[in-house]
Amino acid sequence: MADNLLEIKGLKTYFYTEDGIVRALEGIDLHIEQGETLGLVGESGCGKTVTALSVLRLVPDPPGKIIEGEILFEGVNLLALSESDMRQIRGNDISMIFQDPQSALNPVFTVDNQLREVIELHQGLDKKEARQKAIEMLDLVGIPDPEARVEDYPHQFSGGMKQRVMIAMALSCNPKMLIADEPTTNLDVTVQAQVLDMINNLRKELGTTVLLITHNLGVIAEMSDHVGVMYAGRLVEYGDADTIFHAPLHPYTIALHEAVPRVTEKKQKLGVIKGVVPNLIYPPSGCRFHPRCDFSTEVCEKEQPKGEWVGDHYVECWHRREGTKL
Ligand SMILES: Nc1ncnc2c1ncn2[C@@H]1O[C@H](COP(=O)(O)OP(=O)(O)O)[C@@H](O)[C@H]1O
Ligand SMILES: [Mg+2]
């Protein structure tokens, strides 16, 4: 059995809003092995970001609350830690890069200032050493001419370069785990590929465990060891990347594959899955995917399917359980 760096058990996170209770995570089980990249996919609104924020205990409260479950990081339940211990974890062990670099970089300080602060704090280096390290980090993430660029302010970098600076910042505390939440969504396709390549190389070089979140299956095809598929607050399928890409069992995963743009065809054709992700104040009865599923029958409407493991492959779907060929 491989070592799990992170293990999420029965996690429920709700938002208590004026309109009602948003059941954003309805009992998630997920694990990430030491040193691997786990891709977490699903359409917008399925609970990917809330999963990441729950791990870091950064779910906005109010209205959000983690109401049940365990999040074990190196065997320690993060949900039982004090806020100050949790701050240590966030600063030293788990770093997150957000979709929008604007939110992580302070516009009024130079990159040198911001990177050095993290490095001095976490690596116990003096100012001069920390500056050298900051330059090394910029070089590592592929910023050309890092000695000069380190003096620049965030707005002087292009979108793709800003994303790299943010990654440098997230990595400068040498985290054991990097959570990348849609790290390339706002970037054009070429830059996307470069940033993903970079994350992949860093993982190999530094041994960082990566949780890569995206709404696009195509993005994680080449870099994930395992893939988790989320739908409407549930983990509906999990397996090694090869299985999820070549032998998926859940109708939602299959639909996601069909929605990946086919660049090989003459015209880029983006398939869409019929219907929309439900409002999680009123999630559908039974299997949450049933209103959108071509294979839905009475049982799907009535009862939440129990998850089933076949070796390393997890799927929750009534018809998979009954052995119906999808
Ligand atoms: N601050 C919040 N208040 C109320 N509902 C929220 C809040 N943040 C997220 N949600 C809800 O939680 C669900 C999951 O959201 P999220 O994790 O952001 O989805 P994803 O990252 O997969 O696009 C959605 O229904 C969303 O509306
Ligand atoms: Mg999100």
On whether residue 189 sits in a domain, the answer given is: yes
Which residue range forms the structural domain that includes residue 163?
A: 4-108+153-321
State which residues have CB under 5 angstroms from ligand 2, the bound ion: 48-49
Domain membership flag for residue 118: no
The CATH number of the domain where 160 resides is what? 3.40.50.300
| pLDDT exceeds 60 at position 43 | yes
Report yes or no on 35 lying in a domain.
Answer: yes
What pLDDT is stored for residue 324 in this prediction?
A: 46
Per-residue pLDDT at 98: 80
292, 256 contact by CB (below 8 A): no
**Would 263 be classed as within a structural domain?**
yes
Residue nearest (by alpha carbon) to ligand 1 atom 16: 47
- Is the torsion defined by CA of 30, 44, 285, 298 positive or negative? negative
- The arithmetic mean of pLDDT across residues 136-151, rounded, is 92
Strand 94-97 and strand 313-315: pairing? unpaired
Using pLDDT thresholds of 50, 70 and 90, give the confidence band for residue 317.
Answer: very high
Tell whether ligand 1 has an atom less than 6 A from the beta carbon of residue 44: yes
Residue nearest to atom 8 of ligand 1 (CA): 50
Percent of the chain with pLDDT over 70: 94
Q: Which residue has the higher pLDDT, 47 or 170?
A: 47
Residue 223 placed within a domain: yes
DSSP string, 203-237: HHHH--EEEEEES-HHHHTTT-SEEEEEETTEEEE
Q: Considering the chain, what is the average pLDDT of its residues? A: 90
Say how many domains are in the chain. Answer: 1
Q: Is residue 90 part of a domain?
A: yes
In a domain, 115, yes or no: no
Q: Which has the minimum average pLDDT: 80-84, 200-204, 239-243?
A: 200-204
Q: Which atom of ligand 1 lies at the shortest distance from residue 280's CA?
A: 25
Q: Is the pLDDT of residue 8 over 90?
A: yes
Q: Name the residue at shortest CA distance from atom 2 of ligand 1.
A: 15
**Residue closest to 167 by CA, chosen among 103, 95, 110:** 95
Of 99 and 73, more confident: 73
Q: List C-alpha distances in Å: 299 to 27, 78, 283, 309.
A: 20, 37, 16, 20
How many Å lie between the centroid of ligand 2 and the Cα of residue 186?
Answer: 13
pLDDT in tens, 102-139: 777 889 999 999 999 888 888 888 999 999 999 998 99
Candidate of 8, 13, 22 to mutate for ligand 1, largest count of ligand atoms within 8 Å of Cβ: 22
Q: For residues 305 and 206, what is the distance between their CA atoms, to the nearest angstrom?
A: 40
Q: Residue 121: inside a domain, yes or no?
A: no
Query: What does the pLDDT look like over 213-229, one tens digit per residue?
Result: 998 888 888 889 999 99
